[in-house]
Structure 1
């Protein structure tokens, strides 16, 4: 407990009042000193009886690096509301805006915006309150127990059209000449039969579009594995998340193995969340499965992605360059 500026000024006034009383008589004590002493005693007793309240923290959902959301604190177990300046502690991978907020603790919630700066598990709390008495003469520091956490996903980068088509082709096996009912249209990938090209749709989109039939192929799981140097785990997380979610969004099952473990993700929403959570918590280490369909290696100089026999930097895959040669284009034009 300590005096505020107002409390310090009142103490000075009371001391001066005693000095004046020595010169002009005790009546001056009644005018200034006694009310001041009563206020100081009352303020000190109010704060001495004050216990730290408990906090209920309403956190936003897990989200990606760079996103901003609102956090709300609600105080409980407060017998009588009091004036306090509230600050919530946030982890190093978060940025809180707004600064300390002065409210009637116990009556009003406190809200602030938080920006996700780094991937991984990020913690909130404990909250700290600088409590003041009713007259603002004293203040004391209260630490509200309790912490919470959420998960921040790595950035997911869009991949070029050619890259996505090459990735999708990894899951297509057991092609047959048998035809079933028409299923959908999709972009041409290497190995598609020319008879399946839908020329009318291709002309409208300025790209090759093929008809897909229900019995064209079976979709198999694609294996993705990655490793990173000690200073490149963040780059691995972004590359692995970008590739895995592109496959998942195309309804392709993904097996993702990283230095922190393995995830077998189905094509439902929970599977996508599993992939993002796994990438959010990745650490540096060697590639667990060098024979995977897709191998991601993050080094201090950049990220290399190996798909089949071809290898390319991840920056070029996101920037629009192809992984393989132009055999598919030549085949389509023949």
Structure 2
């Protein structure tokens, strides 16, 4: 327990009054000194009787940068008392978390805005109890810390980029078939290569081989890393690509310097939580089907061995070419490589 600034003023008033009383008689204890002295005694007793409070925080949901969420804190105490309550906010979180109120029988709330990607902590709660006159204060710490995750932003991909991503799964489906399951009657649309000619000749009807479906079991591998301080940009690129795969019903096997995560189509949060914790480090699996790396001031993406930049994969509304010349160069390179089949000798996605 300690005196506040107002409390020190009160003490000075009382001391001056007592000194005057000693020098000039009891009449010097006027109508100001006695009430102040009484207030000091009452205030000291009020604050001294405050028992250590308990704080229970209702944490906000995880979210994305620039989102605002509400934090609720319930203060429990043996008896209500006036106090100033302040909830500590880590870097990356912004909000006015200081509230003046009578606590002990209810909850307080404030808004917090997420600013930057990454894990961030809220708390502990600092409770400064004071008397009704504001002469004494006593500080308590309660509530512990609560972690919230600020996910990377998710951008939009161009139609071509989405098609290239989907083709990774299509390629797996056509080249990695499941195990033989059984023979069944031919139905329209069955591939001719699945017809079992010997059994068809015996039965007189077309019979095809049926295989177990491995589409849902085969995840596309995505590996992420950055050694150039571009962790936020790399996390955004990886989140955009991974969520596009998940939205298309394609599982993802994600590796990065912080670990490994497997996620199915309904588990987008697992990928976002992983990428919210992304730290600097090299790409752990350079042979992955999708590789995202930050280097030399740029974010590069490799799809099935072909490298480009993330900016070139964005939807037009999200990213515009630097100049008409860049657009012409990109178009000419695409035609040469994909239509005419001529190698250009240029590395896709690297600016001039």
* TM-score tier (shorter): 0.7 to 0.9
The aligned counterpart of 1:162 is 160
Among 321, 325, 328, the alignment partner of 2:334 is 325
The aligned counterpart of 2:39 is 39
Tell me how far apart the structure 2 counterparts of residues 132 and 33 of structure 1 sit (CA, whole Å). 21
The aligned counterpart of 1:94 is 93
The aligned counterpart of 1:287 is 283
Contact 2:159 2:315 in 1 (8 A): no
- 5+ unaligned residues in a row in structure 2: which ranges? 178-185, 191-213, 322-329, 341-352
The aligned counterpart of 1:127 is 125
The aligned counterpart of 1:115 is 113
Contact 2:57 2:143 in 1 (8 A): no
Q: Deviations over 1:171-230 (max 9, x none)?
A: 11329997559xxxxxxxxxxxxxxxxxxxxxxxxxxxxxxxxxxx95642211122105
Greater relative CO, 1 or 2 (CA 8 Å, sep 6+): 1
C-alpha deviation, 1:29, in angstroms: 3.2
Q: Deviations over 1:24-64 (max 9, x none)?
A: 63255374434332321221232233233111111111111
2:105 is paired with a residue whose SS is coil
C-alpha deviation, 1:313, in angstroms: 0.7
Contact 1:230 1:285 in 2 (8 A): no
Contact 1:4 1:138 in 2 (8 A): yes
Tell me how far apart the structure 2 counterparts of residues 57 and 285 of structure 1 sit (CA, whole Å). 35
C-alpha deviation, 1:292, in angstroms: 1.5
**Is 1:272 paired with 2:268?**
yes
TM-score by length of 2: 0.74
C-alpha deviation, 1:250, in angstroms: 1.1
Q: Deviations over 1:238-257 (max 9, x none)?
A: 11111000110111111111
The aligned counterpart of 1:298 is 294
Contact 1:174 1:218 in 2 (8 A): no
1:131 is paired with a residue whose SS is strand
- Structure 1: 4+ residue segments shifted above 4 A: 175-181, 217-220, 321-324, 326-331
Contact 1:302 1:313 in 2 (8 A): yes
C-alpha deviation, 1:140, in angstroms: 2.6
The aligned counterpart of 1:138 is 136
CA RMSD of aligned residues (A): 3.2
The aligned counterpart of 2:206 is none
C-alpha deviation, 1:7, in angstroms: 2.3
2:237 is paired with a residue whose SS is helix
Q: Deviations over 1:114-170 (max 9, x none)?
A: 111222221111111222112221123222241111222111111112211111111
Tell me how far apart the structure 1 counterparts of residues 305 and 124 of structure 2 sit (CA, whole Å). 52
